[in-house]
Amino acid sequence: MGRNIKDQKRNSDLDMEENKVLEQIVIIVDQNIDNHISSAMAATINSTPGWSMYYLPTFWIYGILVNPYYYPWNIPAVRRAVFCYAVNRTAALDSYNPIGITDDYLAPVSSIMIDTFPESIRSILFKCPYDPAKAAQILKSMGFYMKGGQWYTPNGTPLTLGNVYGPSGITNWIQMATTALTYLGKFGITGQLIAQDPGVFYRNHISWS
């Protein structure tokens, strides 16, 4: 009887240790799947006894969505000038995750898969280095003009993003959007970031249907 009690206690202790390990793994993996772990957070985790994590390479898309049916965002060249050349995408990524790497192309194309596209598609693709001078050249060629540090459309209205909404608490989205809007502001295009409760954000701005 005494031996059975000792064996049961030992098995119970082992189960508790296994549960602790599984709990740690689930927490870390869940955070990694949601892509919310910054390099600073990873350093904190890896410096905590009994905890560890590492990054796996993955392809992920971040960006600012605009309605392409409204002027002037219905003009592809305007979208290209503003979001391809006027935003320092490397700086935006580095502001949250400095070990990440931006791609030369815009989603859904990436450098590692560009050779899978036929020549008819590759011939119309373009890379997006940070080049505010080129962005300004494109806008000026279409009649947009700069006045007092602000870009204006040919009809005299300010070129602005207006309110830019993001989910509060999803740190990487908010931080990178903040950096992107900072670069656009320096370029002369304003935008006001509004961090909403995630439930409100997804209900009002994201449709999965």
Domain membership of residue 70 (yes or no) is no
Strand partners, 162: 191
CA 195 to chain centre: 15
Neighbours of 148 (CB within 10 A): 6
- Residue 185 region, left (φ>0) first, then alpha (ψ -120 to 50), else beta? alpha
Residue 34 predicted with pLDDT over 50: no
Give the mean model confidence (pLDDT) for residues 116-130. 89
pTM over 0.75: no
- Domain span at residue 7? 2-46
Per residue in 94-108, pLDDT tens? 887 666 677 787 777
Cα separations in angstroms, 18 against 21, 24, 166, 200: 5, 10, 38, 38
Q: Supply 80's token pair.
A: 């290209």
Identify the three-state secondary structure at position 147.
strand
Determine, yes or no, domain membership for 57.
Answer: no
Q: What is the mean pLDDT of the chain?
A: 79
| 136 and 199 inside one domain | yes
Does residue 156 lie within any of the structural domains?
yes
| Mean pLDDT, rounded, for 130-144 | 97
| Residue 185 is assigned to a structural domain of this protein | yes
pLDDT, one tens digit per residue, over 5-14 is: 445 545 555 4
- Is the pLDDT at 137 greater than 50, yes or no? yes
